[in-house]
Amino acid sequence: MYINQISVFVENKPGNLAALTEFIAKHNIDLRAFTLVDSTDYGIVRIIVKDAFDTITLLKDNDWICKLTKVIGVKLPDKPGAMATIMGIMAKNNINVDYAYAFVAKGTTDALMVFKVNESEAEKASAVLSSEGLKVISPADLESM
């Protein structure tokens, strides 16, 4: 099981991140998650929204360079060591994590961890986490977050 993440490529210049966030606000897009990774020349803004397909279409129609990526979201307790538990499960099952980020989920005391694995290992990763009693987030779950 996976959720869709949108990656938006933004040139690393003053005002460009403001332009993106203003665009998102203007179009009333409710962000579930937001993270920014930068390099010298550009940044990659990764967002999770309720309707990824409508949002990516809107972004592309307005000349934003972006792509859709399948990621795994898992609910975990908001306490020290929870992320280490997830990473330990992944390591024990020989699943490499390309990147991850976490945040406290709205309306709950839980945290939500989002991570990207190789697409060929996504189903295995979801199954392993579920078998360990963890709640893997579905697109429908995003509606209540």
DSSP 36-61: EEE-SSEEEEEEEES-HHHHHHHHHH
Whether 42 and 94 share a structural domain: no
Q: Cα–Cα distance between 100 and 95 in angstroms, integer?
A: 13
The residue ranges of DSSP E strands in 2-108, in sequence order, are: 3-11, 31-38, 42-49, 65-77, 97-104
Give the CATH number for residue 117.
Answer: 3.30.70.260
Residue 143, domain member (yes or no): no
Sign (positive or negative) of CA dihedral 107, 110, 111, 112: negative
Residue 110, pLDDT score: 83
| pLDDT tens, per residue, the chain with 145 residues | 789 999 999 999 999 999 999 999 999 999 988 999 987 888 999 999 988 999 999 999 999 999 999 999 999 888 899 889 999 999 999 999 999 998 876 777 788 899 999 988 999 999 999 999 999 988 877 777 6
Number of domains in the chain: 2
- Please check whether residue 145 lies inside any domain of the structure: no
> 106 and 118 share a domain?
yes
Whether residues 65 and 80 share a domain: the answer is no
The confidence score (pLDDT) of residue 104 equals: 78
Residue 47: phi and psi, rounded to 5, are: -130, 150
**CA 4-35-42 angle, 5° bins:** 105
Which tokens in the block code for residue 20?
Answer: 């993106």
- Position 40 in a domain: yes
- Residue 57 and residue 60: Cα distance in Å, rounded? 5
Containing structural domain, residue 51: 3-70
Q: Is residue 103 part of a domain?
A: yes
Same domain, 77 and 66: no
Q: Please report the pLDDT score of residue 69 as a whole number.
A: 94
